[in-house]
Structure 1
């Protein structure tokens, strides 16, 4: 940092050079302040405290950023710092091993490389950000702050390897979405036990809202209710509030950092952090908030809140140990640059991007008028569940308009990175010399699409199965108990044959079968009896399905055989008919829900707040990687509260989905409610469409009453492989355990009771037949084949082990609350994603 830039921040940012004998301060003075104010401040005396403990960040091969906050012992730890508390504190740092002192305020032992006086000022809420340079590469250091008679807890950090070093392995965790107000932070206890070089935080370190709908679920008792010092009501004069002032944002960081589990992470590992949206405002872009129904009076877009954005920027800067600059002199909200990169020897280059501060508005703005209502769209249709053809049209129009208004690139109106950062990213990727290029990426690059036509066809076919089965059952008597013949008759009738022709064609097909005729002969006989080719085809298929079921199911009942025939008719005729004719299918009209279903006969993008909403820029980045033969690129991603793994292709809209170029590994949130839970709640009012997301199941448990759980079908709709009964049981294990814990069952009894409940489910026909068939049909939709793993109903974190030959990411899903506490047994399930050097592919185990 040059002296002119340093002076811009007065005595807040301090920089020093470590040495064996002590320390040389920035500017050559004996203090750490370039303008001398630290020298003028007296050393703090008496009793103090460090309510947010200590932290380190941005490890480079010769430097680290250190952080703390100190207040007088009698002060409220999350209130604004007392204005009379300006003073100085000491920082001590050593390379001697002080591992046994971690988690305590024991005085550091060993020779010091830093022992310096630092300014503590209320105008910065008594936070300290001090950069130590001159450190050795790939070295563990321990540090401690001293205020008056009080020592902080001991902190540990590790510098990066030298840029030209051969590195055999790196291990780090990445995490995201740690909402104070819902679920638990037990995952942090698990991360503390890992052997890590550093931690990557991908944003949503805080949540700006208090009392929002998604924050009203169960939460651990150690997290009390948040109370913003100021706050603005999100809707009207009551209900949820959101942070708006500097005091509000500071309060959230201070309160979050009082949790000793988060403190322990910061004490032990350097963080490399970026923000996502909630550090400012949900689904934000630039300085605009997107809360529904509030728009700018100047341009009709989402409400621009420059002052609020600047407050959020400053609070993040003050509380995050990141080696970045903040310019408080400018009036711009883009007064901070957090995108940056890190080199870890020859093994890894880590590129961290900012995907909020420079992005354009969503391609279809929330303020766009819905022609059906005359009102602004809001989030549905703009950010979520966006018709893809509408999106493509609007994006093309905006790109064409960029040229008209004189912008340098058509992408400048539809960008998530902004032109300067986009070019920086391309340059960094092209010039990177490390084996692996990792991208700290806030929002997923994976296409997450949905064919509404296929989904509706599947749902209506499923809904028809019970009615068709009943019809077969009632026809059996008329055929003298011949169930295959009864099924063939109902099949032909369902396909539109008159009762007489249906019977004649079915009898002809069955007669051909009885005399040894194959399927072609049976079909020809049915056509000769008056059926159309389509009617004959479904009649023959149903005949075969029932005969095969009778052979394959020991002691098959008439009901089971009728169900087998009904499945064939529903998915062999009804589904294809709806897929071909869409809303004009007679089966859509017969459902009585044509008007309700009509808007869903389209292809949708599920989430246009992520890279699916900035498709052309994504294609440009992938083309850059492909054209320049830049391999071993892996994005580590957060935001969406789910685990995903898959390939990022050069053009998802091309035939076959395009060519894989890189891999995206998405981690679930630490505590935030899952992507599945959000979509389940949003879809609950959509009738049959809700079945694409969840399946309610009531499970009676002796002595505890009924467990009401929602089975996650969203995974299958989005592309998860078809389940077996065993895999479906394993999928619901965490949910069943959580439901039992919510009933008050002691943790020691949870696992055996969960296993007993699952054993009962295995024999439940609603589970092993109806639900299984539904999940299998949804999986068969074939949406998003590039996604190789997904778990949309989870909390947790990801552990990465990186070697020259491969990247191994362990998705660690955590168990749910037990009563009001985080579970003692934290990790519920580990899924491993492996990327082998030289291939843009991911294997799951």
Structure 2
């Protein structure tokens, strides 16, 4: 039965409704559903029929399968793409072949047919014809209305004698109804060109979900870029853009990489990404609620501006704007994403689509999805700003969007607010992620929500990710000095005047490190030992021997530490005393004197490190780069006592959890206003891998990664880079077991990549290596000590969980009493002659829990 009301032809649509629902976005009204003919809005009653000839015969195919999206209590959007069977999977739809196809929908349980194109069984509530137009690349979308809340439906498209795979979706519960639980996954960052998509297999086979949130980076607009050169599963062939623009390197020279430029380019990417059968399986089983981030248009883009390299700047040093390219990206997203959004192809300019919108799930949850690219202002620190070290523009992302000196950011942000206040009605006009209209809409939705949980579908991380460069460098210099100091103590032991006394040797080296002459230091060491033996005041004895108060303090500390470790032997005494000297004197000296510290000068890295003795914001493409607006939003929540706000976030290619505070620069980091739960990307290389590459051979490399070479019998040497970035950013200090767990997934991947077969052999090999490392002093003392010292920086205390080296996805279970998210990290690629996704997909599950009424998160 066609879902068309008898009076449909009498309905008049305004221009925007026509553009939204006409052409290839039609509306079908279900029979026997909640909404009867004559009810609802004009749009919901629009005809979904087609005057085009019906597709006939068996020469058709659905190369991107089917998809559903935006489930509401009475509606959902259904999508497919159909082409003649002779057309390549990613080729443009042939012109002059517009036809109509059928869509059928049933409430009958067809679960057994998922994954197949077998004909649906049961009574249909929709059976209608839809137009297939080459002008929209033969994509087809239909909003089905009049459905029953909380009901699972099955659907199928039919072209001639050919049926699509069966699709399934579930409508949202009725607004205001009592709902005990909602469960959804949220995913992001699925770069075709690196790693694997095994996560999709696991979602399709094992997850029981009401829907899926996609937080953006559904496609990557670049092909062959430097960050896309990691290993990739063999089933993902190299992409070839139909047109594309060649990317340049830092010097302006062309590379082999290209970025999507035309509508054909963007369409090609969606077709290829959607051709993967594992992603198809997920779309077939669950409705998506999707927004975009940057790569659906341009990396780190804002509005219609690009930020790739120095060639992304115009003659005035400003980002180049590409409105035509932005419109092409908008249209391709609209064509390929099953989203119930407004798109106006006749509008001038590039802001011709609105994707921010909200959803109700009974009285339990309101989902507020935002657009953080189309309306955002330029990054506060522009690429055109001059680098004082070179006298030239930065011309790249380091210093402008990443590793940004906080004092520079604060100065420029204040200037922008002052200018905006004088010139506009919005003080945040030049420092906004959302734009004023969307910001006001967000505030209104939050304030007027009566739902238990207010969930924000948020593209980029809300939590501060900062680093005190002075503290980090001081820690590094101290760590690097330990072996030198220990060697000096060992040498001092050979001094006959000390009689082989390791305690006196430790005191001598400590005093000398603090600036005392060798003779004074030696005399003070003996004086400390004498006072200790006689029960006297060791500190006073050291001062009386000629040491300053500071020198005496570190000498006595080294002496006492060596004394306490006596039972463990001389080597342990020397190591313990060396650490006291390094962290008790060298580190504070570097913190006080920065690049002018004698220890920085002695390291030979004074010039290289001098620019890092300040506080940094690691990523100003995130909300850290729009701090004033973030504070404005958090003040709105706190001032209006809006509780139970949780952001589900993507973008940064790692798992993070913590609180979003009123003002991260205030004492104690401000007042927690809400919680941010960030998922890693499906396949995109991790935040850790990017930071490791950026640190490279700089003096900061040690605070990011630690190279570890492990000889493995019958395999050879396995090389991994231990992720220390987590500890530098604020991960809790590890135990030996915790550090072993930190490397387990990476070690498993490294062994699998060298051909160790999955299963008992691989798991047994990993277990044996970890057991061996646990007793290795280089691991359980040196590396563990480094991780613990970095953790002690306490860089971002609001971060409750950090795993910056991961791929995977997150599953949220929402009840009236709690919001619980499982971060599901996946295993690495497997090398079985060619690179494949692992059979055992999930490597680790970490649970983050937010209790109702508390802006806090616990981790288990």
What TM-score do the two structures reach when normalised by structure 1? Answer: 0.97
Distance 1:251 1:579, change over 3 A: same
Report whether the alignment pairs 1:451 with 2:463: no
Alignment map for 1:8-157 (pairs within 5 Å): 8=19, 10-20=22-32, 38-157=50-169
Report whether the alignment pairs 1:568 with 2:580: yes
Aligned partner of 2:736 in structure 1 is: 725
Aligned partner of 1:205 in structure 2 is: 218
- In the TM superposition, residue 108 of structure 1 has moved relative to its aligned partner by 0.8
SS in 2 for 1:813: strand
Moved more, 466-475 or 6-15: 6-15
Report whether the alignment pairs 1:463 with 2:480: yes
Report whether the alignment pairs 1:839 with 2:854: yes
- Choose the corresponding residue for 1:232, options 240, 245, 248: 245
Aligned partner of 2:362 in structure 1 is: 345
Instruction: Give, in whole Å, the separation in 1 of the partners of 2:713 and 2:238.
Output: 35
Moved more, 670-679 or 289-298: 289-298
Q: Deviations over 1:200-235 (max 9, x none)?
A: 000000000000111111111111111111111011
Aligned partner of 1:506 in structure 2 is: 525
Q: Deviations over 1:646-686 (max 9, x none)?
A: 00010000011111110000000000000000000110131
Q: Deviations over 1:63-107 (max 9, x none)?
A: 100000001112112100111321000000011111111111111
Moved more, 539-548 or 41-50: 41-50
What TM-score do the two structures reach when normalised by structure 2? Answer: 0.95
Instruction: Give, in whole Å, the separation in 1 of the partners of 2:797 and 2:389.
Output: 33
Instruction: Give, in whole Å, the separation in 1 of the partners of 2:261 and 2:457.
Output: 27
- In the TM superposition, residue 25 of structure 1 has moved relative to its aligned partner by 9.5
Q: Is this contact kept in 1: 2:402–2:617, CA < 8 A?
A: yes
Distance 1:257 1:657, change over 3 A: same
Q: Is this contact kept in 1: 2:595–2:610, CA < 8 A?
A: yes
Aligned partner of 1:535 in structure 2 is: 551
Instruction: Give, in whole Å, the separation in 2 of the partners of 1:813 and 1:23.
Output: 42
Q: Is this contact kept in 2: 1:435–1:632, CA < 8 A?
A: yes
Q: Is this contact kept in 1: 2:454–2:645, CA < 8 A?
A: yes
Moved more, 655-664 or 31-40: 31-40
Q: Is this contact kept in 1: 2:819–2:851, CA < 8 A?
A: yes
Report whether the alignment pairs 1:5 with 2:16: yes
- Choose the corresponding residue for 1:383, options 386, 390, 401: 401
SS in 2 for 1:412: coil
User: Which consecutive residues of structure 1, in runs of 5 or more, have no partner in the other structure?
Assistant: none
SS in 2 for 1:477: coil
- In the TM superposition, residue 297 of structure 1 has moved relative to its aligned partner by 3.4
Report whether the alignment pairs 1:624 with 2:626: no
Report whether the alignment pairs 1:475 with 2:475: no
Aligned partner of 1:214 in structure 2 is: 227
Q: Deviations over 1:622-648 (max 9, x none)?
A: 000000000000000000000000000
Aligned partner of 1:697 in structure 2 is: 708
Instruction: Give, in whole Å, the separation in 1 of the partners of 2:376 and 2:639.
Output: 25
Alignment map for 1:668-817 (pairs within 5 Å): 668-686=680-698, 688-748=699-759, 749-817=761-829
Q: Is this contact kept in 1: 2:149–2:174, CA < 8 A?
A: yes
Instruction: Give, in whole Å, the separation in 1 of the partners of 2:323 and 2:314.
Output: 14
Instruction: Give, in whole Å, the separation in 1 of the partners of 2:51 and 2:665.
Output: 62
Q: Is this contact kept in 1: 2:644–2:852, CA < 8 A?
A: yes
Instruction: Give, in whole Å, the separation in 2 of the partners of 1:124 and 1:166.
Output: 41
Instruction: Give, in whole Å, the separation in 2 of the partners of 1:130 and 1:113.
Output: 14
- Choose the corresponding residue for 1:438, options 446, 452, 455: 455
Instruction: Give, in whole Å, the separation in 2 of the partners of 1:500 and 1:417.
Output: 67
Instruction: Give, in whole Å, the separation in 2 of the partners of 1:787 and 1:562.
Output: 36
Aligned partner of 1:359 in structure 2 is: 376
Aligned pairs, how many?
834
Instruction: Give, in whole Å, the separation in 1 of the partners of 2:164 and 2:81.
Output: 10
Instruction: Give, in whole Å, the separation in 1 of the partners of 2:92 and 2:44.
Output: 24
Instruction: Give, in whole Å, the separation in 2 of the partners of 1:298 and 1:424.
Output: 37
Alignment map for 1:260-659 (pairs within 5 Å): 260-297=277-314, 300-377=317-394, 378-405=396-423, 407-478=424-495, 479-517=498-536, 521-551=537-567, 553=568, 556=569, 558-659=570-671
Report the aligned-residue RMSD: 1.8
Instruction: Give, in whole Å, the separation in 2 of the partners of 1:679 and 1:609.
Output: 15
Instruction: Give, in whole Å, the separation in 2 of the partners of 1:507 and 1:697.
Output: 41
Query: 4+ residue stretches of structure 1 with deviation over 6 A?
Result: 21-28
SS in 2 for 1:84: coil
- In the TM superposition, residue 21 of structure 1 has moved relative to its aligned partner by 9.5
Q: Is this contact kept in 2: 1:57–1:64, CA < 8 A?
A: yes
Q: Is this contact kept in 2: 1:41–1:119, CA < 8 A?
A: no
Aligned partner of 2:3 in structure 1 is: none
Q: Is this contact kept in 2: 1:188–1:262, CA < 8 A?
A: yes
Q: Deviations over 1:444-479 (max 9, x none)?
A: 000000000000100001111111100000111221
Aligned partner of 1:187 in structure 2 is: 199
Q: Is this contact kept in 2: 1:94–1:143, CA < 8 A?
A: yes
Distance 1:26 1:579, change over 3 A: farther
Moved more, 312-321 or 495-504: 495-504
Q: Deviations over 1:489-520 (max 9, x none)?
A: 00001001111211122211111222234xxx
- In the TM superposition, residue 238 of structure 1 has moved relative to its aligned partner by 3.7
- In the TM superposition, residue 16 of structure 1 has moved relative to its aligned partner by 1.7
Instruction: Give, in whole Å, the separation in 2 of the partners of 1:6 and 1:435.
Output: 33
SS in 2 for 1:737: helix
Moved more, 297-306 or 414-423: 297-306
- In the TM superposition, residue 40 of structure 1 has moved relative to its aligned partner by 3.6
Aligned partner of 2:6 in structure 1 is: none
Instruction: Give, in whole Å, the separation in 1 of the partners of 2:65 and 2:544.
Output: 85
Distance 1:27 1:39, change over 3 A: farther
SS in 1 for 2:363: coil
Q: Is this contact kept in 2: 1:94–1:110, CA < 8 A?
A: yes
